Structure 1
Amino acid sequence: MKKIIYILIVLVLPVSFLKAQEVKKSKKELRIEKQEKRKQEVKEILFEKAFVFTPTHAMPLGGGSIQLNYTFDAEIKGDTLVSYLPFYGVAYHVDYGARTGGFDFTQPIENFELEEDEKGYVVKLEVKNKMDLLSFTFHISELGYATLNVTSTNRQAISYYGTIEADKE
C-alpha cells in the first residue's frame, strides 16, 4: 500500500507542478494585457462620447502648476458638456453678479470632432456659455492620460492635466 501511495505522489506531483507553471503569467505579460484592455476601453468611451475627464493639475497661462483635488471634472454625455473646472488667470469680462469663478456649467456641445493621431486621440468641442464661446481641446493618450486646453473669448487660456474614465451612469 505504501508503494502505491508513493508512486501516485511521484506521478501526480510533477504533473500538478507543470500545470501551475502553464497558468502563471509573468508580470510583463499581465501588464501588457492590462494595457491592451485599457486601450480598448479608452477607444470605446471616446467613440461613444461618454467619458469623464478628472484633472490632477491646472496650468494657468501666466503661472506654475496648481495641484487639484478630485472633486473637479468635465463630463461629456453625448451632446452635452457638464463642466466643473476651476479657473486661475485673468478674466476680461465676467457677468455682473456672477457667483462662480471657474468653468461651472452644463451646456449643449456645438461642434464635436474626434481625430486619431500617432500618440492617441484629439477631441475638439465648442460650447457657448452665456456671452462666452469656449473651446475645449483634449489630447488623450491610448491609455487615457489627457491634457485639456480651454480657450475662451472672455478669459485667458488654461490647461489641465489628468485622466479620462468611463461615465459612471
Structure 2
Amino acid sequence: MKTIHRPLLILLSAIVILTACSTQQQATGSPTAVTDAVTSRNYTFVATSVFPTEDSRFNPRLLLPNASNLYQLTSRYDVRVTSDSVIAYLPFFGRSYTAPMDPTKGGIKFTSTKFDYKKTQRKSNYEIEITPQDNTEVRSLYLTVSPSGFASLRVLSVNKTPISFNGNVEAN
C-alpha cells in the first residue's frame, strides 16, 4: 500500500510545481515591454481575480476571521487602452443601486473615446487614473502596474459599490 502512495504523491507534486512554474512564466513580461506599452498607451489589462467590496453590515460572512473575498476568474475579462479609446469588459459582483433595463447590460461594459488619462510613477510602479467623460456609469479607473506586468485595477462607479481586480498588463 505504501509503494502505491509514494509514486502517486511524487507525481502529483511534480504536476503542481510544473503548473506553478508555467503560470509564473506566462504572467511576467519583460520590464521594457511593459514600460513601452504603458508609456505609449497601447496595452490591455487582463483580469485574473476579483475582490468585490461589500459592506459587512449586509454580509455576515465578512465577519468571519479568515473569510476571503478573492474570487478567481475563469473567463477572459479585460480593459483595452489605446491612445484614442478605452474599452472595458469586466464582471461585477456587489451592490448595485439601480438595475439596468436590459439584463444583458450587467457588469462593467463600456467604450470611451473621450477620457482623461493621468500617469504617474511611484518608485518602479506606474499609477494610472482614467476618467471617462462620455460614460455616465463609471466614474474612474485606477490602475497600478508593476515593471513585471502584474497590475491591480480599482473601478469606481456612480451607482455601484467599488470593485477591485488583479491581473496582468499585456502590450497590444
With the length of structure 2 as denominator, give the TM-score of the two structures.
0.71
Give every structure 1 segment of 4 or more consecutive aligned residues whose post-TM-superposition deviation is greater than 4 Å. Answer: none
Once the two structures are superposed, residues 126-148 of structure 1 have per-residue CA deviations (whole angstroms, 9 ceiling, x without a partner) of 11465324210001111110000
| Structure 2 gap ranges (5+) | 1-27, 55-61, 63-68
| Counterpart for residue 146 of structure 1 | 151
Rounded to whole Å, the distance in 2 between the matches of 1:70 and 1:164 is 16
Tell me if the contact between 1:54 and 1:70 (Cα under 8 Å) persists in the aligned partners. no
Rounded to whole Å, the distance in 2 between the matches of 1:96 and 1:131 is 15
Post-superposition offset of 1:94: 3.2
Rounded to whole Å, the distance in 1 between the matches of 2:53 and 2:164 is 8
Rounded to whole Å, the distance in 1 between the matches of 2:88 and 2:40 is 18
Give 2:34's match in structure 1, choosing from 27, 34, 42: 42
Post-superposition offset of 1:70: 4.3
Equivalent pairs, count? 132
Tell me if the contact between 2:129 and 2:142 (Cα under 8 Å) persists in the aligned partners. yes
Post-superposition offset of 1:96: 2.2
With the length of structure 1 as denominator, give the TM-score of the two structures.
0.72
| Counterpart for residue 49 of structure 2 | 57
Question: C-alpha root-mean-square deviation of aligned residues, in Å?
Answer: 1.9
Higher relative contact order (CA 8 A, sep 6+): 2
Tell me if the contact between 2:125 and 2:147 (Cα under 8 Å) persists in the aligned partners. yes
Give the alignment of 1:1-169 within 5 angstroms: 38-62=30-54, 64-128=69-133, 130-167=135-172
| Structure 1 gap ranges (5+) | 1-34
Once the two structures are superposed, residues 27-57 of structure 1 have per-residue CA deviations (whole angstroms, 9 ceiling, x without a partner) of xxxxxxxx8x811111100111010111110
What percentage of aligned pairs have identical amino acids? 24
| Counterpart for residue 7 of structure 2 | none
- Return the letter of the residue paired with 2:106: G
Which structure has the larger Rg over C-alpha atoms? 1
Once the two structures are superposed, residues 147-168 of structure 1 have per-residue CA deviations (whole angstroms, 9 ceiling, x without a partner) of 000001110000000000001x
Post-superposition offset of 1:90: 0.6
- Return the letter of the residue paired with 1:48: S
Rounded to whole Å, the distance in 2 between the matches of 1:152 and 1:133 is 4
- Return the letter of the residue paired with 2:91: P
